[in-house]
Amino acid sequence: MIAGLVLLAGGAAVGLFGSLLGLGGGILLVPLLTLGFGRPLREAVAISLVSVIVTSSAGAGIYLRRHVANLRLGMVLELFTACGALLGGLIAFALPVPVLEGLFAALLAYVAFNMLRRRPPKATATPQPPADEVLVPPSGEGTDPVALPAASRATAVPPVAVVPTPAVPMPSTWPFVRSLSGPGYTVTRMPFGVVGAVFAGIVSALLGVGGGIVKVPLMNLAMGVPLKVATATSNMMIGITATSSAVIYLLRDEINPYIAGPVALGVFVGASVGARVINRIDTAFLQNLFVAVLIVTAAQMAAKAVGL
């Protein structure tokens, strides 16, 4: 019974801190399960995928109700993230575990680096949107049964430095791509989107993350999609992306329901709580603490990868 409660609490902590810090759940959950609970990496990745689907579905429901996500663009891109996830799911069983651990260590280091880069700017520096800018939901927050940032923070929001949408995007000459545009913006450079979506799917399937770290900058910087729409659309796409690879893990008996259950439940509850207290908590200290945790975790994962 104690182990079940500890897993539940661990999931809740991941959901809560992921929600407060704008980190994806997978980036926290996989190290927790492997380094903290001694679970095999593939099992941890599989459980992480299940957890991100839960928070993605909840968040996508809210985003779609508020018409923030671009359903048409998301469905086209998720076709390619799903292809990438299928590929990644197969690669995951072909690669040796130490290689996967090394890749995850690199991802952790990259996220830590980006969290350091996106610290609040000085008055004279080039204005950078705060971490919350990509997370702030439309008005009405707190009235929903499933709080918006609970999912967006836990699954979709990449801890990357964000840059405003290019001012003058070049319109696509392909009518279908133009039809994917939304109110006030035009979708551009679809080929970048396709290639990036496949890559995001592979990353998601290999490492058990939502892939927002790739998709949001891709849509925002390369395709001319406003940041908030890109975040919401990425969040919506995670469900199918993660499902495409999760079924491979499921049918290869890598999902332990006794662990996945309490962890997914905990992540959902923790992320929901985080969404409700975010405005009352100073996350600056938490962020600094977390950069340190990420660096230490990356080092541990790297050491595990090389057999130390």
Partner 1 sequence: MSAAPDPRVNETAYRLEARISRLLVAGTYLAIGLVLVGVVAMLATGVDPLALATPTFDAGRIPADVAAGRPEGFLWLGLIAVLVLPLGRVSVAGVGFLAARDTRLALVSLAVLLVVSASILAAVGLER
Q: Which of residues 92-131 bind partner 1 (CB under 8 A)?
A: 93
| Residue from the set 138, 186, 273, 276 that interacts with partner 1 by CB under 8 A | 138
| Residue 247 CB, nearest approach to partner 1 (Å) | 5
| Residue from the set 35, 79, 195, 273 that interacts with partner 1 by CB under 8 A | 79
| Residue 68 CB, nearest approach to partner 1 (Å) | 6
Give 204 or 287: the residue with its C-beta nearer to partner 1. 204
Q: Which residues contact 88 (CB under 8 A, 6 or more apart)?
A: 201, 202, 203, 204, 205, 206, 245
Which residues on neighbouring strands pair with residue 75, listed in sequence order? none
Site for partner 1 in 186-225 (CB under 8 A): none
Site for partner 1 in 172-191 (CB under 8 A): 176, 182-184
| Residue from the set 243, 271, 290, 294 that interacts with partner 1 by CB under 8 A | 243
| Residue 16 CB, nearest approach to partner 1 (Å) | 16
What x-and-dash track marks residues 20-59 binding partner 1 by CB under 8 A?
-----------------x-----x------x--xx-xxx-
- Report the distance separating Cα 82 and Cα 176, nearest Å: 20
Give 120 or 257: the residue with its C-beta nearer to partner 1. 257
Number of residues that bind partner 1 (CB under 8 A): 74
What x-and-dash track marks residues 222-241 binding partner 1 by CB under 8 A?
----x-xx---------xx-
